[in-house]
Structure 1
Amino acid sequence: MQMRIKDVVVLIVVLFLACKGVAQVETAILLPEKKDSIASRYLDRKQEILIHLPGSYAKSGLNYPVIVYLDGQDQGLKNLLISNLDRLMYGREIPEAIVIGIPHHHGRGDLSIESASEDTTPFMKFVTTELISFLDQNYRTLDFRTFIGHSLGGQFLAYSMTRYPDVFNAVIAISPALNYPDTESWYKRKTLTALEHFAQGKRHNHLYFCVGDAGFQDAGFKTGAEELAAILTNANNSGLYWKFDVLPGFTHGSSPAAGIPMGLIQVFKYWPFLETRSYEILVKNQGSPLKEVLEQEARIKDIYGVDIPLPRSVYWQFGKYELGKGNYDNAVKFFEKNMALDKNGSTPRSLMGDALAKMGKKEAAKKYYQEAINLLKEGESRKELEEKIKQLDGN
C-alpha cells in the first residue's frame, strides 16, 4: 500500500511538470503573479509579497479564502505549489482562492521558533497584524486562511496556530522541524509543548503534517511528527481536523512534491460536492439536489466558519436538472446562486429567463433575457434570445 501511494503521488507530480505549459494555457485558474510590498515596523524593512488572484476575481464580486505560502524566494518550490493549486482549483477539489507568497530574502531566521527568545516573534507579528490588515483592506478576503510551510516554515506555522488560531485557521506543515537532538542546548521543545496545550482546547482549526522516511533529516523529524500525532490522538479533540502522513520514499527535500497536494486536499476535503453524488442525482434521479446542496453549504459553514461557495457548475447543472424536471421554483433558486457567483455571465441569466417563462412570469423572463443579451460578448449570437423575447411578446 505504501508503494502504491508513493507511485500515485510521483505520477501526479510528473504529470504536473510535463504538462505545465499546456496547463497554464488550457486550465489556468490563477492569474499571473504580481508583486507588492509592505513597510513593516516589526521587521524594520519592506517585506515583499507575491500575489496570485483567481481568474474569476474581477467578475464575481465574491470574497475568497486566502492561501499563504512561505519561502516564496524558492522558485522551484513556488512553481510546484502554484501548479498544484491551479490544477486542484481547476478540478474543483479545492475552492478558488487568493494566493500569497512571502519571500525570505533576508534569510530564514524569521521562521525559527525553537531558538527564539520570545514567544511571539517579529515575523509572527508581521503576519498576524500587518499582512492580514493589508490583505483585508486591499482584497476581498474571507476569514479562512491556509498557511503552507516546509521545514522551519512548518515549525513556525504549527506554533503560530497555537498562539493565533483565529489567523492561522489551517496549517500545512511539510516535514516540519518539530524536534532536535538533545545535544542542542537551545532546543526547549517549545512547539510540541504549545501544540500539546492547544490540543486540549476546542478550536475549529485544521492541521496537516507529513514527513518522508528516506532521508537523513527525516529520521529525526519523523520522531517529532510521530510524537505530535500521538499527542493529537490522545487529546481526542473533535474540533481539531488533523491528519498525519508518512511519505514512503520521500526525503526532507522532496517531501513538498507529495505534501502540498495531499495537504490541500485534506484541508478542503469537506468543501466539494462529490462528483459521485452528482452522478447519482443527475443520471440515476436519486435524491433532492436542492436539499443536498443546502446541507452541504451548512456543513461548509460549520467546518470552516465561513460561507465558501460551491463551484458555479454545481448550481448550473442542478438548476438545469430541476428545469428539465419541471421543478421551476427550485431551478430559480439554483440560478439565483449561479448569478451571484457570475455577475457578468450571460448563461445563468438566460436560464433564469427560461425558468421564469415556464412559470408564466413573462415580464421577469424578458428582463433576464435582455440582461443576458447585454452581457454577450462581441460576435456572440443574440438571435436565440431575441426570438425568445419576441415569443413572449406575442403570447
Structure 2
Amino acid sequence: MKNCRNHFEIALNKIKILIRNFFYLWTILIVFSVSGQESDNIIIGTKHTIVSNILREDRTYQLYLPDSYAKSSKTYPVILLLDGDYHFHSATGIVQYLSNDGEIPEMIVVAVPNTDRNRDFTPSHSLINYVGDTDEKQKTTGGAEKFLDFLEQELLKEIDSKYRTNKYRILVGHSMGGELSTYAFLSPERSFNAHIAIDPSFWWDDQYIIKKIDSSIIKKIVNKKIYISTADNYERSHFITRARTSQELFYALLKNNGMPYKNCEFEYFEQENHITVPILSLYHGLYFLFKDFVLEDVEFRSAEEIADHYQKLSDDLGIAFLPPENMINNVAYYKLYGGKDRENALKLLKMSLSYYPDSAITYEILGEAYKLTGENKKALEYYQKSYELDPSNESVAKTIRELKNK
C-alpha cells in the first residue's frame, strides 16, 4: 500500500509539473501571437550556421532581433544563451515581454544549440558524475576554454559584424551551462559584462569552480554582475544536497572576497525543480541585472531628470543605454492628457526624436500635440513626417487629409 501511495504521489507531482509548464508556455505563446498579429507568419527568430575553426566543426545558432530593430538605427545588448535549442522560445518571450514596456532594454538573443555539452561546458576533465560514480560519458569533458574562445572570437565577432550591437554581453546558462557562465565570470580576460547562472552545477569536479575564487580575482572582475538561482527544497528532495551546498558556499565566498552586494545576487526558488526553474530565473535575473533601468515615478519626471538617470546608468554599466522610446512617449502622452503639461510633453517628445530620429510614432504624437492647440500647420508637418516613415498607417493618412481640407 505504501508503494502504491509513493507511485501515486510521484505521478501527481509529474502532472503538476506538466500543468505548470503548460501555463508558462501558453503565456509565452500569447506574447508571440500579439507581437506577430500583423503578419501571416509568426516569426520568432532565424537559424544560422557558422564554421568554427577553433572547434573544428560547424555550429548552428538561433537569432532573435528586437521588435524595433528594422525601424531604428540604435544598437542593442546581446544575450548569449547556452542550451539554445532548449531555451530559445521561452527566453525570447521573456525578453520581448519585459522590454516591451521598458522594464529592461531591448536585446538581441543569440542561442547556441549543443553538439557535445559535456565537452563544451566543463572547465576541467573529470569522469566523476553527480552521485560520485565513474561515468565514461564524461570522457570528453574539459573543453570550456576552447568553447569560450569560439563564443568570443568567432560567434560574437560574426554577430557584431552583421548586427548593431553595443558590446554589452550577457552569458546565460542552466545547470552545467551555469557552471560555464560562472567560469567565464571568474575569468577577467573574458568580455562578458554580466552572467546568469541558473541552478548551476558547482558540485562539478569536487567543486572546481569554488577553488577559483580569491580576492585577487575578485578585484579584477568587481564591475561584472552575476545572478545565481537555485531550485527545490530539502523537504521534497535530499538529492539536491551537493548542488545546494556548493551554490551557497560559492556565494558566501564571493561576498567574503570583496564582490559588491549590488553586483551579485543569489535567489531561491524552492517550489520549482531543476527543470522548471529556468523561466523564473531568467525573468528575475534580467530584473536584477537591470534593476536601475526603470526610473521610479517616471510619469512625474522632467525630460532632464530622465536623461540624467539614463546617463548615470550608462556610466555605471560602462555602455551607453538610451531611455526606452516607448517609455518616453508614454510619459509624454500622460503629461499631454492626464497631467495637462503640454510644455514638458513637447520637451519629452523632442528628446525622444533626438534619440530615435526615425520614429514614426513620435512624429505622430507630436502632430497630435500641436493639433490639440489648433496649430494645424505644425501638426501637419509632423503627421506628414510620420507618414513618410510609416506609409501603412491609415489613421495618420486620414488625419493628413483632414488637416489639408481645413
TM-score class normalised by the smaller sequence: 0.7 to 0.9
1:97 & 1:334 partners in 2: Cα distance? 23
2:22 & 2:309 partners in 1: Cα distance? 33
186, 193, 211: which one pairs with 1:193? 211
343, 349, 353: which one pairs with 1:339? 353
Residue 220 of structure 2 is aligned to residue 228 of structure 1: no
Moved more, 153-162 or 79-88: 79-88
Q: Which residue of 2 aligns with 1:148?
A: 172
Q: Secondary structure at the match of 2:263?
A: strand
145, 151, 154: which one pairs with 1:121? 145
Q: 1:49 to 1:383 in 2, by over 3 A?
A: closer
Within-5 A mapping of 1:187-336: 187=205, 189-197=207-215, 198-201=217-220, 203-214=222-233, 215=237, 217-238=239-260, 241-274=263-296, 277-278=297-298, 281=300, 288-321=301-334, 325=340, 328=343, 330-336=344-350
Q: 1:321 to 1:93 in 2, by over 3 A?
A: closer
Cα deviations across residues 361-395 of structure 1 (Å, max 9, x unaligned)? 9987654343124334264353433554677xxxx
**Cα shift at 1:262:** 1.9
Q: 1:382 to 1:14 in 2, by over 3 A?
A: same
Q: 1:296 to 1:11 in 2, by over 3 A?
A: farther
Does the 8 Å contact 2:62/2:111 carry over to 1?
yes
Residue 126 of structure 2 is aligned to residue 108 of structure 1: no
Does the 8 Å contact 1:199/1:240 carry over to 2?
no
Task: Indicate the structure whose relative CO is greater, using CA pairs within 8 Å and at least 6 residues apart.
Answer: 1
1:79 & 1:372 partners in 2: Cα distance? 33
Q: Secondary structure at the match of 2:240?
A: helix
1:19 & 1:202 partners in 2: Cα distance? 37
**Cα shift at 1:47:** 1.2
Residue 45 of structure 2 is aligned to residue 23 of structure 1: no
Q: For structure 2, list consecutive stretches of 5 or more residues without a partner in the other structure.
A: 1-16, 127-140
Residue 51 of structure 2 is aligned to residue 39 of structure 1: yes
Q: Secondary structure at the match of 2:209?
A: helix
TM score, norm. by length of structure 2 = 0.77
**Cα shift at 1:240:** 6.0
**Cα shift at 1:108:** 3.0
**Cα shift at 1:309:** 2.6
2:19 & 2:319 partners in 1: Cα distance? 34
1:372 & 1:73 partners in 2: Cα distance? 39
Q: Which residue of 2 aligns with 1:4?
A: none
Does the 8 Å contact 2:174/2:198 carry over to 1?
yes
Q: Which residue of 2 aligns with 1:172?
A: 196
Q: Secondary structure at the match of 2:322?
A: coil
Does the 8 Å contact 1:207/1:242 carry over to 2?
yes
Q: 1:358 to 1:208 in 2, by over 3 A?
A: same
Q: Secondary structure at the match of 1:99?
A: strand
Cα deviations across residues 254-302 of structure 1 (Å, max 9, x unaligned)? 332432222122122221234xx145x2xxxxxx422331232123202
Q: Which residue of 2 aligns with 1:96?
A: 106
**Cα shift at 1:196:** 3.2
1:210 & 1:15 partners in 2: Cα distance? 21
Moved more, 133-142 or 112-121: 112-121
TM score, norm. by length of structure 1 = 0.79
Q: Secondary structure at the match of 1:108?
A: helix
Q: 1:56 to 1:303 in 2, by over 3 A?
A: same
**Cα shift at 1:169:** 0.9
**Cα shift at 1:65:** 0.9
1:109 & 1:380 partners in 2: Cα distance? 56
Equivalent residue pairs, number:
365
Within-5 A mapping of 1:31-70: 31-70=43-82
Residue 386 of structure 2 is aligned to residue 372 of structure 1: yes
Does the 8 Å contact 1:10/1:258 carry over to 2?
no
Q: CA RMSD in A?
A: 3.4
**Cα shift at 1:82:** 3.1
Q: 1:297 to 1:257 in 2, by over 3 A?
A: closer
Q: 1:178 to 1:55 in 2, by over 3 A?
A: same
2:103 & 2:295 partners in 1: Cα distance? 9
1:354 & 1:90 partners in 2: Cα distance? 23
**Residue 208 of structure 1 aligns to which amino acid in structure 2?**
Y
Q: For structure 1, list consecutive stretches of 5 or more residues without a partner in the other structure.
A: 1-8, 181-186, 282-287
